[in-house]
Structure 1
Amino acid sequence: MNRDRVMEAFRAESARLGEVALSWTDRDWALPTRCEPWRVRDLFGHVRVALAWLPGMLAGASPDQAEVSARQYYRPDERFSAATNDTRISLAQGHAAGFPDGRALAEDFIATWQNVHRLCSAEPAGRVVRTRHGDAMLLSEFLVTRVVEVAVHGLDLAAARGDTPWLTPEAGSVVEELLTGRPEGADRRTLGWDQATFLEKATGRQPLTPAEDRRLADMNLQWLALG
């Protein structure tokens, strides 16, 4: 996937999430989410933690070649095991607990994504990184997975607050292409879905009718293993 397109999707979706989060009240930050056991504060902390791996990855040695694509990154293995999920949960909760209030947490997220965007923009187009799970990936491919984190969990955060999803078209397009293997558009529109609905359905956040399930199978949808 084109690096500039992925970078713009990361910038647009992260900026939107940070902007929205600055308006949340103490009550909002305490709301439960469908990503149990996280509340809004914890889930937001998880998104920040997911982005914060990048500076350390960029500071490390660059593998000789990429071995894993963004699609392959979501293969079901120990990275999505119960033990690894328990670690994700505790890391997110621990990070969120380190701030006096939600606004401080939101401001930290904004500073984090802006730093990540700056660092990644300075890297050459073919830069390869090694993830914390040991995968050698093109930086642009790993950034696709970060767009997934911000976009899909943005849908979870919107649902927790009863908001209309704020999904940006840039991020929706990148995640849709990851899921279908094709540029976004015709297949989804024949189902009458907008981008947010497609992502909700394709990541198990909304139930599928038997007919919808068959249509997604016909599209050769990539079902992602998600923690």
Structure 2
Amino acid sequence: MMIDIRDAYRRALDGFGSRLHLVMDDQWELTTPCVDWSVRVLVNHLVNENLWAPELLAGRTVTEVSDTYERDVLGDDAIKAFEVSSQAAVQAVYAEGALTSVAHLPFGDVLGEEYVTELFADALIHTWDLARAIGAVDRLDPELVAACAEWFAAAKEGYHQAGVIADHRNVPDDADQQTRLLAAWGRRG
């Protein structure tokens, strides 16, 4: 990957946060490109992932953590919940040994670097989902798109088999890299 994955993840979270600050009071129940997810459910998903990151990078298992965060964790201030959780997640990925630790994920154990890469990709794609849902600028950082596309080329089949992404969408041969990446994730750019 051409960028430090920790920096990519931090920047993806910053991009999500900038769109999150644009959500109006009447937009929380809008649908997103994620099937059956409202804006609030999407934000809750990302906050949950942020809360899991320090725990899983510290060696805890999903079973040990799941009851703690598999619920609505946004409370009355979704933006603050996101900001606090993002700060904790970023601190965890920059901690010494985080990238070489073993993260015990539902589908098996992976090195911390792979886990952080998955978190980065999820944050980046969900930034587009959020922007689309609320009508904000949906252009993603081209450097992050390139990094995600490079990683996802090898990871796509596993994601598809696990059923966590929709079927690949066809795009014109001259489509830009963001459109191709989103299509690989089953999104219509």
1:119 partner amino acid? A
Answer yes or no: is the 8 Å Cα contact 1:43–1:153 preserved in 2. Answer: yes
Q: 1:36 to 1:126 in 2, by over 3 A?
A: closer
1:49 aligns with 2:48: yes
SS in 2 for 1:52: helix
Corresponding position of 2:124: 151
SS in 1 for 2:90: helix
Answer yes or no: is the 8 Å Cα contact 2:46–2:123 preserved in 1. Answer: yes
1:116 aligns with 2:116: no
Answer yes or no: is the 8 Å Cα contact 2:60–2:104 preserved in 1. Answer: no
1: CA distance, partners of 2:86 / 2:133: 22
SS in 2 for 1:17: helix
1:17 partner amino acid? F
Equivalences for 1:87-126 in 2 at 5 Å?
Answer: 91=70, 94-96=72-74, 99-100=75-76, 104-124=77-97
2: CA distance, partners of 1:59 / 1:125: 8
Cα distance, 1:119 vs structure 2:
1.9
Cα distance, 1:150 vs structure 2:
0.6
Q: 1:195 to 1:136 in 2, by over 3 A?
A: same
Answer yes or no: is the 8 Å Cα contact 2:101–2:112 preserved in 1. Answer: yes
Q: Which structure is richer in relative contact order (CA contacts within 8 A, separation 6 or more)?
A: 1
Answer yes or no: is the 8 Å Cα contact 1:51–1:112 preserved in 2. Answer: yes
Cα distance, 1:206 vs structure 2:
2.2
Cα distance, 1:139 vs structure 2:
1.0
Q: 1:37 to 1:91 in 2, by over 3 A?
A: farther
Cα distance, 1:116 vs structure 2:
1.3
1: CA distance, partners of 2:82 / 2:148: 21
Corresponding position of 2:112: 139
Corresponding position of 2:10: 11
Cα distance, 1:6 vs structure 2:
0.9
Corresponding position of 2:187: 205
Cα distance, 1:145 vs structure 2:
0.4
Q: Find runs of 4+ consecutive structure 1 residues off by over 4 angstroms.
A: none
Answer yes or no: is the 8 Å Cα contact 1:155–1:196 preserved in 2. Answer: no
SS in 2 for 1:53: helix
In the alignment, structure 1 segments of 5+ residues that lack a partner are 63-86, 182-189, 208-227
2: CA distance, partners of 1:169 / 1:156: 16
Cα distance, 1:134 vs structure 2:
5.5
How many residues are aligned here? 166
CA RMSD in angstroms comes to: 2.7
Cα distance, 1:31 vs structure 2:
1.0
TM-score by length of 2: 0.75
Cα distance, 1:148 vs structure 2:
1.4
Cα distance, 1:126 vs structure 2:
5.3
- Indicate the percent of aligned positions where both proteins have the same amino acid: 27
SS in 2 for 1:131: strand
SS in 1 for 2:22: coil
1:91 partner amino acid? E
Answer yes or no: is the 8 Å Cα contact 2:50–2:88 preserved in 1. Answer: no
1:180 partner amino acid? A
Q: 1:20 to 1:54 in 2, by over 3 A?
A: same
Q: 1:132 to 1:125 in 2, by over 3 A?
A: closer
TM-score by length of 1: 0.64
2:100 partner amino acid? R
Equivalences for 1:182-193 in 2 at 5 Å?
Answer: 191-193=173-175
